[in-house]
Amino acid sequence: MPNADTHRRGPAGADEQASPKVLVVEDEKVLADGIARGLDKEGFDVEVVHDGLAGLARGRSEDFDAIVLDIMLPGMNGYRICRNLREEGVTTPILMLTAKSGEYDEAEALDTGADDFLSKPFSFVVLVARLHALLRRSADGMAQPMVVGDLVLDPLPRTCRRGDVQIDLTTREYELLEALMRHPGVTVSKQELLEKVWGADFDGDPNVVEVYIGYLRRKIDRPFEHRDIETVRGVGYRMGVPYDRSAG
């Protein structure tokens, strides 16, 4: 069995260049070792550290394709690690491990710059799927700012502006706008938005999508006399071409 505390390659015979490098920052050693062994079998190149300061130091190296980061850590918690890395310009995708049913943990994880979160206890299959999704997004340049007309959404600092005017968004508003701006001109169904923003296991009122679309319109469209968020009746929503005010 490989030592989970050391840097190591994926399975024997695997193409080393093709092995994604993942840093796991987790102080529960049994859990950390289980994650490391499982990721190793999936072809990842894994390094594990067990305290926050070591995690920050290794994360700064930018040697990794992704970071799996726990919140409760000795030395420095995951929120501070994530915020520090983002403020220092480290763009490595971060998957944060949050407490079970920790809605506030999840919101703060995203607000500090994490790309995704996973609530404990979690399925290892889901962990691997989330990592692959983060790696695909990173490879596709998903950390680049998204632009529709003069509306700019920047994933790294998680900021939104129209022209020179900064717009304050809640976590849900930001995630919803991001889901639309990723594919300008493409209709995104209500179900897709629910799964992307509220999670596949969301069992609340699906009309929450309409409610938050209304919140967004009041922040990013109406004050600027724009109509960028379009309703495609019976289907969903899309970010259309910038509205031409001269056309009435």
| Per-residue pLDDT reduced to its tens digit, 151-209 | 999 876 678 999 999 999 887 888 899 889 988 888 999 998 988 888 766 778 889 99
User: Looking at 10-19, 52-61, 166-175, which range is the least confident one?
Assistant: 10-19
DSSP state of 27: S
pLDDT at 36: 94
Higher pLDDT, 20 or 99: 20
Amino acid 140: pLDDT: 58
Average pLDDT over residues 205-229: 93
pTM value is 0.56
* Cβ burial, residue 114 (10 Å; 0-12/13-18/19+): buried
Query: Is 107 a residue whose pLDDT tops 80?
Result: no
The larger pLDDT score, comparing residue 76 to residue 242, is at: 76
Give the list of residues 6+ apart from residue 197 with CB closer than 8 angstroms, or none: 172, 175, 176, 179, 209, 212
pLDDT reported for residue 4: 38
Domains in the chain: ranges and CATH = 16-139 (3.40.50.2300), 146-247 (1.10.10.10)
User: What is the rounded CA–CA span in Å between residue 91 and residue 236?
Assistant: 31
Looking at residue 49, what is its pLDDT? Answer: 95
* CA pair distance 199, 157, nearest whole angstrom: 22
What's the confidence (pLDDT) of residue 156?
A: 64
How far is 25 from 69, CA to CA, in rounded Å?
A: 5
Cβ contact 81:102 at 8 Å: no
Q: Residue 49 in contact with residue 58, Cβ under 8 Å?
A: yes
Pairing mode, if any, of strands 45-49 and 146-148? unpaired
pLDDT reported for residue 171: 76
Q: What's residue 6's pLDDT? A: 37
pLDDT reading at 242 higher than 60 = no
The pLDDT tens digits of the residues spanning 116-164 come to 888 888 889 989 988 988 887 766 555 678 888 899 998 766 789 999 9
What phi, psi does 154 have (nearest 5°)? Answer: -110, 110
Backbone angles phi, psi at 200, to 5 degrees: -65, -20
* Nearest by Cα to 98 from 80, 75, 116, 125: 116
Q: Indicate the range of 79-93, 96-110, 193-207 predicted with least confidence.
A: 96-110
Secondary element (H or E) of residue 117: strand 116-119
Give residue 15's pLDDT.
Answer: 40
Cβ atoms of 95 and 131 within 8 Å: the answer is yes
* pLDDT for the residue numbered 184: 85
Residue 14: per-residue pLDDT? 38
